[in-house]
Structure 1
Amino acid sequence: MDHEDDAADALRRMAGLATPMALRVAATLGLPDRLLGDGASVERLAAELDAAPIALDLLLAHLATLGVVERTPTGYRTSAYGEHLRLDAGNGLTDLLRLDTAGGRAELAFVELAHSVSTGRAAYPRRYGQDFWADLAEHPHLRESFDRQMTHRFREQLPRIVAGVDWSRFSSVVDVGGGQGSLLAAILTAHPGVRGHLVDLEPTAADARRTFTAQGLDDRARVTAGSFFDPLPAGADAYLLFDILHDWDDEHAHRIMSRCAEAAHPAGRVLVVEAVAGLRADSESDLAMLVIFGGRERGLDEFRALGSAHGLLLDGVTELTDQRCLLEFRLSADG
């Protein structure tokens, strides 16, 4: 095979959908958990799953080619490699891959990528009839999986995010769209002089209350159930937007920044933590933001313009982790 054939074969493999879908269906069916130990026969597994035996065998054969399962004299069993797809593996993969979770369902919107490229809009509503956030509101199991995914997403980076910012400068921090409260709880634990206020929609807000109670922070942490498109608790020293703005198009991102600017006191700060194009963003994530949300990973000039429209000046940029930067905005004197 010559170089041109090698290149064509590599491109074909990158474009193929069989492998990524096989892995997602395997995770959705729970095959890595069902095939532990000595494994199981195709017939028994098909009966348990109410699946077509021949079709299930075809799926398992491809998973064996990938090294996810191993053939046994009587059927298949999960390999050591495939155990990374178990529910209890602790790596968050199941919430990203299963077709009945928010992450797995959302990525199927990539089949409508051409629509997003043509229009600049999210493909998710085209595939599912409503946007991602409406889907989460309507289906509690999707919201629950999304909250887990978001908590797991930055778990390993949490110590660096807490240590990489002098949070003690602020007597009060409002975590805008703060999810289940893991980040704010870590900040408050590390800095006993700081008080926190988290804003998110119910029932995520209820989860945050439980997080703060479990960590003994009820005396310094408040929770308000609400949207960041509505007025925010006023007068705090800092308003934190962690992985928020890239989920939204420009119109909605401006609305969020406007709420932060109007709530902050004159010496207050708006802290944006997320990937920044050209610094800590990757092209795959950029496409995902477009397809799922109609958003994108913005560059520094875009962030400057976004803040400036609301009297906010970009005052500093810190590369916190290999995935995220801190952008610190202050109110301009004539804002």
Structure 2
Amino acid sequence: MAGLATPMALRVAVTLGLPDRLLGSGATAGQLAVELDVSPVALGLLLGHLTTLGVVDRTSTGYRTTEFGANLCAGAGNGFTNLLLHLDSAAGRAELAFVELAHSITTGEAAYSRRYGQDFWADLAEHPRLRDSFDRQMTLRLDEQIPQIVANVDWSRFSTIVDVGGGRGTLLAAILTAHPRLRGHLIDLAPTAADARHTFRAHLLGDRAEATAGSFFDPLPSAADAYLLVDILHDWDDEHAHRILARCAEAAHPAGRVLVIEPVGGRRAITEMDLSMLVIHGGRERRIDEFRTLASAHGLALDTVTDLTGQRCLLEFRLATAAPCSSPAPSAKPVQRPPHHQ
């Protein structure tokens, strides 16, 4: 359980592109070493461990990717490549901050900036390739759950939704497609908001969906029926989570709702993700009472909690002066928890 050889071997293999290169007839270690400009002896050691793991087979003509190993190919469609690329992927790079876990446990602060000299978000802003891989991973991790999120929330109660930090807009597009009378406004940083506009155009939603470049630490579009936060608050410590909720509360009209969708500690979160949020962002998977305490500081009262998917809950907040919701979101049907991926 404590060995680092296997996870690092997989990351290096994916970073070097070995699973894709060794499809079909494969290649020898000598051929690969020349192509990749790496040490042939060291590469042989890596290939030996990948053989032990069942990622590659050794044949009379060299090494080739197994059916199991093909799950690590770029075209496998499961997001593993984007997670494991430790040079060009935001997720792969971020997980290497775990070597500084002791710092996070001692201080309660993120380890990312200790390892890389600046926080995760500043790194993304400085390196467009990391921003792109992060946006792609956020889309991948939510895609399989979008049908459940659309089906298990009564979105028809609303006429306008502001998707706060809504990424490339895949969830908002699905919600608007299912509810033709609904209008949506997505807020995210400029490169991501531009991608969201492409998503909306592709779904023929140009007249009902807009994407604005902005930060959720700044004033949000006002008087919408609902402000949607999907996998946002767990990325931040309490100080920043307060600032985000404050912006939602000040923007909402008196009968508006703030909808938080993310893992909830003790309910849909897993302990590994708790540590990931701490190490990378200084955040955590909060428990219901912690959400309630955060929100109450901004005049928000927790109305309902729904187990939405195998990995996420919906927490619906109203302004404390507003009447409780008369038709709360229906409870999600029981589902098995799918394998976790960040």
Give the alignment's TM-score, normalised by structure 1. 0.95
Instruction: Please say if residues 110 and 280 of structure 2, whose CA atoms lie closer than 8 Å, have aligned partners that are also in contact.
Output: yes
Map of 1:17 onto structure 2: 4
Q: Does residue 200 of structure 2 align to residue 200 of structure 1?
A: no
| Residue correspondence of structure 1 range 244-259 to structure 2 within 5 A | 244-259=232-247
CA shift digits 1:82-120 (9 cap, x unpaired): 000000000000111110200000000000000000000
Partner SS state of residue 160, structure 1: helix
Q: Does residue 57 of structure 2 align to residue 70 of structure 1?
A: yes
Map of 1:88 onto structure 2: 75
Number of corresponding residues: 322
Map of 1:299 onto structure 2: 287
CA shift digits 1:186-209 (9 cap, x unpaired): 000000010000000010000000
2:257 and 2:30 map into 1 onto residues whose CA distance is 61
> Match of 1:142, as an amino acid?
L
- RMSD across aligned C-alpha pairs, in angstroms? 0.9
Segments of 4+ moved more than 3 angstroms: none
Equivalent position to 1:164, from 145, 149, 152: 152
1:127 and 1:202 map into 2 onto residues whose CA distance is 27
Partner SS state of residue 218, structure 1: coil
Equivalent position to 2:85, from 90, 94, 98: 98
Map of 2:332 onto structure 1: none
| Residue correspondence of structure 1 range 1-335 to structure 2 within 5 A | 14-100=1-87, 101-333=89-321
2:288 and 2:24 map into 1 onto residues whose CA distance is 51
Shift of 1:334: 8.3
2:68 and 2:300 map into 1 onto residues whose CA distance is 49
Partner SS state of residue 47, structure 2: helix
Map of 1:10 onto structure 2: none
Give the alignment's TM-score, normalised by structure 2. 0.93
Instruction: Please say if residues 254 and 322 of structure 2, whose CA atoms lie closer than 8 Å, have aligned partners that are also in contact.
Output: no
5+ unaligned residues in a row in structure 1: which ranges? 1-13
CA shift digits 1:279-309 (9 cap, x unpaired): 0000000000000000000000000001100
Map of 1:5 onto structure 2: none
> Match of 1:197, as an amino acid?
H
Instruction: Please say if residues 95 and 149 of structure 1, whose CA atoms lie closer than 8 Å, have aligned partners that are also in contact.
Output: yes
Shift of 1:276: 0.3
Instruction: Please say if residues 28 and 63 of structure 2, whose CA atoms lie closer than 8 Å, have aligned partners that are also in contact.
Output: yes
Partner SS state of residue 255, structure 2: coil
> Match of 1:162, as an amino acid?
V
Shift of 1:81: 0.4
1:105 and 1:222 map into 2 onto residues whose CA distance is 32
Instruction: Please say if residues 98 and 105 of structure 1, whose CA atoms lie closer than 8 Å, have aligned partners that are also in contact.
Output: yes
Instruction: Please say if residues 32 and 83 of structure 1, whose CA atoms lie closer than 8 Å, have aligned partners that are also in contact.
Output: yes
1:43 and 1:331 map into 2 onto residues whose CA distance is 66
1:74 and 1:139 map into 2 onto residues whose CA distance is 40
Partner SS state of residue 203, structure 1: helix
5+ unaligned residues in a row in structure 2: which ranges? 324-342
1:26 and 1:190 map into 2 onto residues whose CA distance is 41
> Match of 1:83, as an amino acid?
A
2:177 and 2:265 map into 1 onto residues whose CA distance is 31
Instruction: Please say if residues 311 and 334 of structure 1, whose CA atoms lie closer than 8 Å, have aligned partners that are also in contact.
Output: no
Instruction: Please say if residues 255 and 322 of structure 2, whose CA atoms lie closer than 8 Å, have aligned partners that are also in contact.
Output: no
Map of 1:9 onto structure 2: none
Shift of 1:74: 2.1
1:239 and 1:334 map into 2 onto residues whose CA distance is 15
1:274 and 1:182 map into 2 onto residues whose CA distance is 16
Distance 1:61 1:248, change over 3 A: same
1:144 and 1:223 map into 2 onto residues whose CA distance is 17
> Match of 1:108, as an amino acid?
L
